[in-house]
C-alpha cells in the first residue's frame, strides 16, 4: 500500500513538473483585438497604396507611396511578431526601404497562418 502512495505521489510530481515546463515554453497569448487592429490597419494601408498607384494627378506621388509603403512594412513586421514569425532584414529607418522579396515572404507566411488583409 505504501508503494502505491509513493508511485502516485511521484506521478503527480512528474505531471505537475511537466505542466510547469510546458507553461514556460509556450509563447504568451496574443491579444486577439490587437491582432485584429493590425490586420485592419494593414488593409487600410494596402488600399492606400493601390489608391496612390492609380491616382496620376497626385502631387508628390512617389513621396506619398514611399511613406505609406514604409508604414506598411513596419506594420507587417509587427504582424510577424504577433504571429511568432522571424523577421529578416534591417530595422526600418527613414529613407531606408525594405526588400520586396522579404516583404513578399512575410506576407506569404502570414497568409499561411490565417492572416488576411
State pLDDT tens for residues 85-116.
Answer: 988 766 666 666 678 888 999 999 999 999 99
Q: What is the pLDDT of residues 41-86, one digit of tens each?
A: 999 999 999 999 999 999 999 999 999 999 999 999 999 999 999 8
- Higher pLDDT pick, 111 / 22: 111
Place of cell 494601408: 45
Mean pLDDT of 5-32: 63
Q: Is 44 helix (H, G, I), strand (E, B) or coil?
A: helix
3 pLDDT more than 70: no
CA 79 – CA 18 distance, rounded (Å):
31
Q: Is the pLDDT of residue 20 over 90?
A: no
Query: Please, are residues 117 and 82 in contact by the beta-carbon 8 Å criterion?
Result: no
Q: What pLDDT, on the 0 to 100 scale, is given for residue 5? A: 57
Q: CB count, 10 Å around CB of 43?
A: 12
C-alpha cell at 22: 510546458
Burial of 54 (0-12, 13-18, 19+ CB in 10 A): exposed
CA angle 19, 21, 27 (to 5 degrees): 100
Amino acid at each position: 500500500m505504501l508503494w502505491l502512495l509513493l508511485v502516485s505521489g511521484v506521478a503527480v510530481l512528474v505531471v505537475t513538473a511537466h505542466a510547469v515546463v510546458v507553461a514556460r515554453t509556450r509563447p504568451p497569448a496574443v491579444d486577439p483585438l490587437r491582432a485584429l487592429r493590425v490586420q485592419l490597419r494593414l488593409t487600410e494601408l494596402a488600399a492606400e497604396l493601390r489608391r496612390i498607384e492609380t491616382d496620376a494627378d497626385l502631387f508628390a506621388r512617389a513621396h506619398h507611396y514611399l511613406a505609406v509603403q514604409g508604414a506598411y512594412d513596419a506594420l507587417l513586421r509587427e504582424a510577424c511578431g504577433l504571429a511568432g514569425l522571424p523577421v529578416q532584414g534591417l530595422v526600418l529607418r527613414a529613407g531606408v526601404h525594405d526588400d520586396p522579396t522579404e516583404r513578399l515572404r512575410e506576407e506569404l507566411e502570414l497568409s499561411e497562418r490565417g492572416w488576411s488583409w
